Amino acid sequence: MTVSSPRGPNEKLGTLLSLAGISNAGLARRVNDLGAQRGLTLRYDKTSVARWVTKGMVPQGPVPHLIASAIGGKLGRPVPLEEIGLGDTDPAPEVGLAFPREVPEAVRTATDLWKVDLENRRGPGGGRWSDSLTGTFSVAAYATPVSRWLITPADGSVARDATVVGHGGSLLTAAASPAELSSYRVGHADAAKLREAAQEARRWDSKYGGGDWRSSMVPDCLRVEAAPLLLASYSDEVGRALFGATAELTRLAGWMAFDTGQHEAAQRYYIQALRLARAAADVPLGGYVLASMSLQATYRGFAEEGVDLAQAALERNRGLATARTMSFFHLVEARAHARAGNAGPCAAALAAAESWLERSRAGDADPAWIDFYSYDRLAADAAECFRDLGVPAKVRQFTREALARPTEGFVRSHGLRLVVSAMAEAEAGELDAAVAAGARAVDVAGRISSQRTREYVIEMLRRLEPFRAERAVRELEERARLVLAAPA
């Protein structure tokens, strides 16, 4: 994973290693560990590092960024690639992390991300989500976007006259020529078309998982349909609608990447979705993006940061979001509190979620993207909260309530609930019920493309290990391993 042609000694890297007090072997170990955290198998040693320093050998892919992270962690500050003499390496891992202050730059940043994702999927092994966007997942990358959104959740006028401002960069598609772009005026029908695409993609995602082949429609739609529209002409009113629809699609692209285990790509899509939501002046949608960030942070083990992200969504949406939307934000907050072991705050957040949901009415102006949320989802997440807090009786109670309600069209959610049910029944000593729920969960995992569901199943098998003497458990384990061995 290192470029073979030397460039001469990398004195900058050598100097910074000395300053940080890191040996060659120590840097190799840190880089390998950081790679493992991101699902990469790296086998660098002190000789590898010596080649980087004395011969100027350049590691490929995300490794320069891992080197910077390793040294930065020891120094206690960010270390840019230029400081370690690797500033001319592949910039892809940095794409999509910026949260520009101005709208034109925000458009460029988002479309650059879509372009990199397209080029990645066309490259060797294309088809998997954003393998080239594997620099580093860092929950700290959310700090600037969240603070800027909290300070200014809505931009001023976003009206654009392409005949005056020009094109602001090259198009990602040949679908429109510069002349056509300058003369085209976006209308509400264009934005509506994107929203319809987002609704359809949400249905596919819930039914088949984020890795289903149809999921490629989302980044393709962003590149082919949304990007040219953002570079055309539109009034402020139409522009708001356009940015809102594009933000929905971008958040969904992030959610699908998250579901397939591509957390670095998901983080970039979420940041751009939040920026686009600000251009749309859609504060509830921005809150929904923050809730998605919170779920990812919590899932990745950054529960306290997950609390902060959920509370940011709540704080800006008081008096703006509908009751059902506020309920969901409180539920996400509860999930983070539970993973952090904060039993009291978790209980308070769950109570708030239930109270807000009870206030919701059929005639409320709920956004389309919250249509998945009802009491069964609240019950399912409450079960996971009590699982994290170690209250098995509550886990069984809420899981049974969640499974008692119809989940047509939400196949993945049903599978996750079955896994949680299996673990709760096993902990309660109800082995037959645990195996039955586990078998149904494995069936679901085999029908959808969701790395997250697979990881839930793996955790279920781990919880069932004390019962491996039972034949039914061994059979379930064998059945599950066959499903897990199949391509995602």
For the segment 267-287, what is each residue's pLDDT rounded down to a tens digit? 999 999 999 999 999 999 999
Give residue for tokens 């650059």.
112
- With a pLDDT cut of 70, the percent of the chain lying above it is 86
Provide φ and ψ at 421, rounded to 5°: -65, -45
User: CA–CA separation, 20 vs 22, rounded Å?
Assistant: 6
Per-residue confidence (pLDDT) for residue 126, from 0 to 100: 42
Residue 177: band (very low, low, confident or very high) from pLDDT cuts 50, 70, 90: low
DSSP-H helix ranges across 301-408 = 303-317, 323-340, 343-359, 375-389, 392-403
Per-residue confidence (pLDDT) for residue 385, from 0 to 100: 98
Residue 28: band (very low, low, confident or very high) from pLDDT cuts 50, 70, 90: very high
Kindly state the tokens that stand for 154. Answer: 């809505």
Ranges 51-65, 341-355, 363-377, 451-465: which has the least confidence = 51-65
Distances (CA, A) of 236 to 164, 216, 231, 283, 301: 16, 30, 14, 16, 40
Provide φ and ψ at 243, rounded to 5°: -65, -35
Per-residue confidence (pLDDT) for residue 93, from 0 to 100: 54
Average confidence score pLDDT of the chain = 87
Residue 199: band (very low, low, confident or very high) from pLDDT cuts 50, 70, 90: very high
189 pLDDT above the threshold of 90: yes
Segment 159-165 mean pLDDT: 81
Per-residue confidence (pLDDT) for residue 125, from 0 to 100: 41
412 pLDDT above the threshold of 80: yes
Per-residue pLDDT reduced to its tens digit, 121-150? 544 344 444 444 554 578 888 999 999 999
Give residue for tokens 């990645």.
120
Residue 89: band (very low, low, confident or very high) from pLDDT cuts 50, 70, 90: low
pTM score, two decimals? Answer: 0.81
Per-residue confidence (pLDDT) for residue 170, from 0 to 100: 35
For 183, half-sphere exposure in the C-beta direction (CA atoms, 13 angstrom radius) is 5
Per-residue confidence (pLDDT) for residue 91, from 0 to 100: 52
Crossing angle of the two packed helices 375-389 and 323-340, in degrees rounded to 10: 10
Distances (CA, A) of 163 to 121, 179, 279, 310, 416: 33, 9, 21, 41, 51
**Are the C-beta atoms of 244 and 226 separated by less than 8 Å?**
no
